A and B are shown apart, each in its own frame.
Chain A
Amino acid sequence: MVTQLLFFFFAACAGGSALAMVTRKNPVASAMWLIGTFFSLAAIYTLLGAFFIGIIQILVYAGAIMVLFLFVIMLLNLGNNLEADIRGTGWKVMAGGGGLVMLALLARVFAGDVPMPLGQQAGAAVLAAQQAERGTVGIIGIPLYQDFVVPLQATAILLLIAVVGAVMLAKRKV
């Protein structure tokens, strides 16, 4: 009961912050509301039992990625002369319609009897048992370095390419 009440509270915070992020004119205010969404989502991950993902959410998303966004907003000095940023009424109607269509499609997918090919064999109880056996970090770290070694290396190469590419793109003269 308490878990569900907390879930509804943080879900309302996440949804409200996301709406505020889309509707605020000032980019700095938008970024701050997005950070609010990220913190609420971190709380929801913790409620769902994914403690490590919750911490990573705060460290990487709210900590690193949003600092990058705010740094660029302030580097480009976008916070004070607010030009017309939100599109006109026709676009607003289109955005509302598009959002509702997307919501209906996703709700239809999620509300139906979703076949779970990965199986019901690993339920919440199995997850909790694994967490007790291997630790909070271990249930992610051990599969990451045993079953997902190739994707992990591919991610490492991707990050290297991204770092080199970002420096190349942002340099004045190559």
Chain B
Amino acid sequence: MESVPLQYTLGLSALLFSIGVAGVIVRRNAIILFMCIELMLNAVNLAFVALSATAGVQGQVFVFFVIAVAAAEAAVGLAIIIAVFRHSESVDVKNFSLLRW
């Protein structure tokens, strides 16, 4: 099977990561912030998979670990969001100031 050039996949990975960064800056809904973080994790996964074609299969094993950590992070993060929602009836990040100095 012919392959896609490495630079294209890495470029797509950079683009998705940048969109995730912009989303974290521009949104206020905590759940959508989490989704932007998942998007950034996926961009990193794409870079891992693209580089695993030249640097060995270890990249794909790392993607496996990243997915497991993302699942753990989503579970704990959404539990925190539910706890904050119960406290202030909103998921706006301005309500997340309880732990700030």
Binding site for B on A (CB under 8 A): 1, 3-4, 7, 11, 14-15, 18-19, 21-22, 27, 30-31, 34, 37-38, 41, 44-45, 47-50, 52-53, 56-57, 60-61, 64-65, 68-69, 72-73, 75-76, 78, 83-87, 91-92, 94-96, 98-100, 102-103, 106-107, 110-111, 116, 118-124, 126-128, 130, 139-140, 143-144, 147-148, 151, 155, 158-159, 161-163, 165-170, 172
Which residues of chain B (36-58) have a CB below 8 Å from chain A?
A: 36, 38-39, 42, 45-46, 49-50, 52-58
Q: Which residues of A contact B36 (CB under 8 A)?
A: 21-22
Chain A: minimal CB distance from B42 (Å)? 6
Contact residues of B: prevailing secondary structure: helix
A143 touches B58 (CB 8 A): yes
Given contacts A53-B49, A86-B28, A103-B14, contact A75 B82 (CB under 8 A): yes
Q: Which residues of B contact A34 (CB under 8 A)?
A: 35, 38-39
Chain A: minimal CB distance from B26 (Å)? 4
**Count the A-B residue pairs with Cβ separation under 8 angstroms: how many?**
240
A139 to B53, CA, bound (A): 13
A72 touches B75 (CB 8 A): no
A/B interface sample: 17 pairs, CB < 8 A: A7-B9, A21-B23, A21-B36, A22-B27, A37-B39, A49-B53, A91-B26, A99-B25, A124-B53, A127-B52, A127-B53, A143-B57, A148-B61, A158-B72, A162-B75, A166-B75, A169-B76
A38 touches B15 (CB 8 A): no
Q: Which residues of A contact B86 (CB under 8 A)?
A: 172
Nearest 8 CB-CB pairs, A to B?
A99-B22, A162-B72, A106-B14, A169-B79, A22-B23, A95-B26, A95-B25, A118-B55
A78 to B72, CA, bound (A): 23
Q: Which residues of A contact B70 (CB under 8 A)?
A: 61, 65
B6-44 interface mask toward A, CB cutoff 8 Å, 1 = contact, 0 = none? 011111111111111111011111011011101100100
B17 touches A30 (CB 8 A): no
Binding site for A on B (CB under 8 A): 1-4, 7-23, 25-29, 31-32, 34-36, 38-39, 42, 45-46, 49-50, 52-58, 60-61, 63-65, 67-76, 78-83, 85-86, 90-92
Q: Which residues of B contact A94 (CB under 8 A)?
A: 25
B29 touches A85 (CB 8 A): yes
Given contacts A75-B82, A165-B76, contact A85 B7 (CB under 8 A): no
Given contacts A22-B27, A50-B60, A123-B53, contact A15 B19 (CB under 8 A): yes
